[in-house]
Each structure stands twice: as structure tokens, then as C-alpha cells.
Amino acid sequence: MSFKNFLAGRWVDGDDILEVEDPATGETVAEAPLAGEVTLERALEAARKSAERGDLAAMVPQRRADLMRRIAQEIRSIAAEGAELLTRESGKRLSDARAEFDEAAAYFDYYGGMADKMEGKHIPLGPNYVDYTVLEPVGVSAQVVPWNFPVSLAARSLAPALATGNAVIVKSPELDPLGLTVLARALEAAEVPEGAVSILNGTGIDLGAKLVASSRIDQIVFTGSVPTGQAILRAAAENVTPSLMELGGKSAAIAFDDADLDTLLESVRWGIFFNAGQVCSAMSRLLVQRGLYNRAVEACAALANSLSVGHGLDEADHTPVISARQLGGIAQMVSAAIRDGAIAAAGGAPLARAGHFMAPTVLRDVRPDSRIALEEVFGPVLCMIPFDTEEEAIAIANGTEFGLVAGVFTHDLSRAHRVASKLRAGQVFVNEWFAGGIATPFGGIGKSGFGREKGVEALFNYVRTKNVAISLKR
């Protein structure tokens, strides 16, 4: 199978190639071409022309909605093939890879439903004026995608951008770019206008940095780490390019004494061990009230130890992290935390086997001000912290530079509302981590970034309001 770059409706080779590795075995899955400067220039040129012609913007909105739904269908038809490839390159479970393609299709259906409902408004200025607003597409949207959910996160931004009539250039993640070439095939099969979308593979330093620094883009949508987000914002400042930042997190769940332990454990299972913990909104800290703490530690450790370990294609519960580098960083942070006084109730080190496997890890008695409690690990590492009072729990939960998600586990509805209102986070889950879906707005506070993706709200990232005021005076 060829994994060329999708350049404005055509498939082109790269200037260089990159070996894509299976993180579960260390074997090479495929060679992916890296788009060079010339390819990027051609993509920028094509996107600008497409935006100026209004390939999508000038389309009758209902036809644009139809196109979006066709893309959704095409994604579903190639999902099985794409999922297998995504598992091989990212290490994730096959069913989770399949869910990514299904979610990608769902984004196109969801935003397809909105393509003909982006309405401006009439503003009353008295009898001598007519005033109305128009929601115009921003133009060329440059989107930089991370490796943890490359297909669904690309679709999360691509779908609302296309539904609102923009041209888009996607920079796929260099560690697992293959799934996005399959997504590009679905766009091609659905007959997206040539020039409206390019999906290019390249490294962040080369392709990503050049794309976001270009004066020919009208917007940057970035999902990734804080340091990269900061570098991109510096580049954006040069051209005053509007940017959307979806960055990292160090999210806390607060479990009160009255929380149901089984419900909590189900959330821990997915909250921190899903995708080997490589989730921006992972439950990386679990604060437990003193009366429940010891039982919760034991149960979380037993859960971690019960997970089967293996290849994603075999549907193992626990799969590798993306790279040797990622594993090294996780292991280093965990051993420093243990030196700092945390106790490994489960795991605590890489597993002795081929591939990049970190043992599912539960650290107890983590100091709230220690490095591991404040910085993103981006791996299967749960930090458990005891607390006594509601105020103390809120202070610990809010005590990092991040503010992506947070959770409350309690049967006391008043307390759930009260605590939710005080948590500094873009979204709060009550009694179920990851509650919500593509219809619920998602984004951060503080170093977790700004802007909201998902839901109807996300559409407004991809349009700008123009006001037209008409004097009727003669």
C-alpha cells in the first residue's frame, strides 16, 4: 500500500522518507514519505485558490451538508482497513482504532447537519437602517495533529472547518501518519473539491513549523503539547494569525467517602488506562477522601494488575506507548516520584518485553506539590492523593497550571454541583469519567489552552462575523 501525501486532491511522493514503527514489536510497519517545502508551497497555493474561489463556501449549504455526509459514509466504508493500520502504527487496541474511525465519521455527520444552519442575525438600529451579520469562513485553516488519536482528532477540526466552507491543510503526526492517509482516501472518494484539503506528513520542526509560520494561512488549529503550543503561538504572533490551542492536562478526579467504588473503578479503568494513558484528558490524579482512600488504593492496584498486556491487534487490555522516547520519559518521571516518597502500589517500571510497554502503574501517597502531581506524564500512571475536606480537595485539584477536565464522584448532588462550580477546568465529569461526546464542548483553561472544539460551539472557531450596516436615509 502506498502512503503518499494527499496534496490538493493528488497523491504525491515526499522529499524524504520516515520509517513508521509498530510500538508493540519495534518492527517497521511502512515507509511514509515526508512532504518537503515545495509540496507545502503547492498545498498553500491550492488552499488559497480554493478559499478565494469559494469551492466550499460558495456551495449551496445543503450540498455542502450532503458532501459532509458522503465523507462520513466513505470513512465508515474504509474503517476496518484504516483501523488495522492505525493499530499497527500507534499500538492502540484494534477496537479503539476502529472507534476512532467511527468517531471521525460521526464528526462529519454531526457537522454536516449544521452546514446549512449557520445563521447570522438582524440587529435593530431603528427605521433608518438595516443591519445584519454574516458568518464568513476564515479562509485557510492550518491544522496540526498529535499522535495519540490522529484520526478522530483530525476529524474533530477538519469536519467543522469544511462544514463552514474553509480550505484546510492538515499536518499529520510523524509517529503515526498512516491512518490519516486512509482518511484522505475517504475525502477523495467523497469528491471533496480539489484544493480544499491537503493532508501532508512531516516532522514538527520542518513541516509543522513552516506551515504555522506561513503568512498564507488564516488560522492555526493546534492539538498537542504545551511547549509546542507555545512555539506555535510565537510564530502566530508574527502574522497575527488567530489560533486555537488544545493542549495538555493533569486532570484530577475527586472521590468523596460516599462514592460508589465500582463506579469509580470503571472510570479509573478508562480514565487512566485507556490508550495506555496517552490521553490529554486522562484521569492522571485521583484524590480520595481519607475514609475511602486505602480501599480505593487496593482496588485500583488490583485493577492495574488485572489488565492483560499485549498487541493491540489481539485486543489486549493494555498496549504499548508510542515510542521508546515516550517510554523513557514516563519511566524517568515515575522513578523520580518514587525517590520523592510516592509508593508504587502497582507497576512502577517498564515491562521486560519487546516493544514500548510501561506497566500499568498506581502510585499512592503522592505529594500534591511533587513533580509527578503537577506535570503531564502522558502514560498509564495514576497518582493517588488522600484528602480530608472538600476545600482541600478543590485546592489540590486546582493546584496545577493546567485546567482541561476534572471529575467528582459522590452521591450528594448538592456537593457535586458545588464542587463542579469551583473546579478550574473546561469540563467536569460527575460519576463517570469521559461522560459527554462529540456534541459537548471541549477545551482548556490555563496551560491546557483556549478555544472550544466539539459541539455546536466549535463551528464558531471556523467563521468570522461580518456586520453589514445599511443606511436607508435619502
Of 228 and 361, the one with the shorter C-beta distance to ligand NAD is 228
* 270-299 residues near ligand NAD, rule: CB under 6 A: 280
By the rule CB under 6 A, 232 interacts with ligand NAD: yes
By the rule CB under 6 A, 146 interacts with ligand NAD: yes
**Which of 227-235, 333-341, 343-351, 465-473 is the region at the interface with ligand NAD (rule: CB under 6 A)?**
227-235
By the rule CB under 6 A, 248 interacts with ligand NAD: yes
Question: Using an 8 Å Cβ cutoff, are 362 and 300 in contact?
Answer: yes
Question: Using an 8 Å Cβ cutoff, are 281 and 292 in contact?
Answer: no
DSSP string across 132-173: EEEEEE-SEEEEE--SSSHHHHHHHHHHHHHHTT-EEEEEE-
Of 204 and 348, the one with the shorter C-beta distance to ligand NAD is 204
What are the strands of the beta sheet with 197-201, ordered from one edge?
Answer: 10-12, 5-7, 197-201, 167-172, 140-144, 219-223, 243-246, 449-450
> How far, rounded to the nearest angstrom, does the alpha carbon of residue 82 sit from its chain's CA centroid?
18
- CB of residue 206 vs ligand NAD: minimum separation in angstroms? 9
Q: How many angstroms separate the CA atoms of 107 and 121, rounded?
A: 26
> How far, rounded to the nearest angstrom, does the alpha carbon of residue 429 sit from its chain's CA centroid?
17
Task: List residues bridging with 199 in a β-sheet.
Answer: 6, 170
**Which of 45-53, 71-79, 144-152, 269-277 is the region at the interface with ligand NAD (rule: CB under 6 A)?**
144-152
Q: Which of 231, 265, 309, 445 binds ligand NAD (CB under 6 A)?
A: 231
Question: 351-385 burial string, b = 16+ CB within 10 Å, else e?
Answer: beeebbbbbbbbbbebebebebbbbbbbbbbbbbb
Q: How crowded is residue 411: how many other Cβ atoms within 10 Å of its Cβ?
A: 12
For 388-437, list the strands marked E by DSSP: 405-409, 427-430
By the rule CB under 6 A, 347 interacts with ligand NAD: no
Q: Which of 43, 51, 65, 145 binds ligand NAD (CB under 6 A)?
A: 145
Output the residue with the shortest Cβ distance to ligand NAD: 204
Question: Using an 8 Å Cβ cutoff, are 162 and 118 in contact?
Answer: no
300 catalytic residue (yes or no): no
Phi, psi of 14 (to 5 degrees): -105, 175
Q: Which of 93, 98, 171, 447 binds ligand NAD (CB under 6 A)?
A: 171
By the rule CB under 6 A, 249 interacts with ligand NAD: yes
- CB of residue 39 vs ligand NAD: minimum separation in angstroms? 16
Binding mask 384-413 for ligand NAD (x = CB under 6 A): --------------------x---------
Question: Using an 8 Å Cβ cutoff, are 67 and 250 in contact?
Answer: no
- CB of residue 207 vs ligand NAD: minimum separation in angstroms? 8
- CB of residue 248 vs ligand NAD: minimum separation in angstroms? 3
Q: Which of 35, 94, 212, 344 binds ligand NAD (CB under 6 A)?
A: 212
Phi, psi of 301 (to 5 degrees): -65, -40
By the rule CB under 6 A, 223 interacts with ligand NAD: yes
Q: Which residues neighbour 413 within 8 Å (Cβ) at sequence distance 6 or greater?
A: none
C-alpha cell of residue 69: 455526509
User: What is the residue whose three cell numbers read 486532570?
Assistant: 251
User: What is the residue whose three cell numbers read 459541539?
Assistant: 455
**Which of 197-205, 260-268, 334-342, 365-373 is the region at the interface with ligand NAD (rule: CB under 6 A)?**
197-205
List 89, 174, 280, 300, catalytic entry:
280
List 21, 246, 376, 390, catalytic entry:
246
Q: Which of 401, 444, 421, 415 is nearest to 281 (CA)?
A: 444
**Which of 27-35, 59-67, 71-79, 143-151 is the region at the interface with ligand NAD (rule: CB under 6 A)?**
143-151
By the rule CB under 6 A, 36 interacts with ligand NAD: no
- CB of residue 256 vs ligand NAD: minimum separation in angstroms? 27
By the rule CB under 6 A, 430 interacts with ligand NAD: no
Q: Which of 243, 254, 280 is nearest to 402 (CA)?
A: 280
- CB of residue 212 vs ligand NAD: minimum separation in angstroms? 5
Of 112 and 277, the one with the shorter C-beta distance to ligand NAD is 277
By the rule CB under 6 A, 425 interacts with ligand NAD: no
User: What is the residue whose three cell numbers read 469551583?
Assistant: 422
C-alpha cell of residue 264: 469509580
Of 204 and 360, the one with the shorter C-beta distance to ligand NAD is 204
280 catalytic residue (yes or no): yes
Of 160 and 204, the one with the shorter C-beta distance to ligand NAD is 204
**Which of 45-53, 115-123, 224-232, 456-464 is the region at the interface with ligand NAD (rule: CB under 6 A)?**
224-232
Amino acid at position 179, single letter: G
Of 196 and 209, the one with the shorter C-beta distance to ligand NAD is 209
Question: Using an 8 Å Cβ cutoff, are 339 and 246 in contact?
Answer: no
**Which of 207-215, 302-310, 350-358, 411-419 is the region at the interface with ligand NAD (rule: CB under 6 A)?**
207-215
Q: Which residues bind ligand NAD (CB under 6 A)?
A: 144-148, 153, 171, 173-174, 203-205, 208-209, 212, 223-225, 228, 231-232, 246-249, 280, 376, 378, 404, 444, 449
Give the residue numbers annotated as catalytic, written as ranges: 246, 280
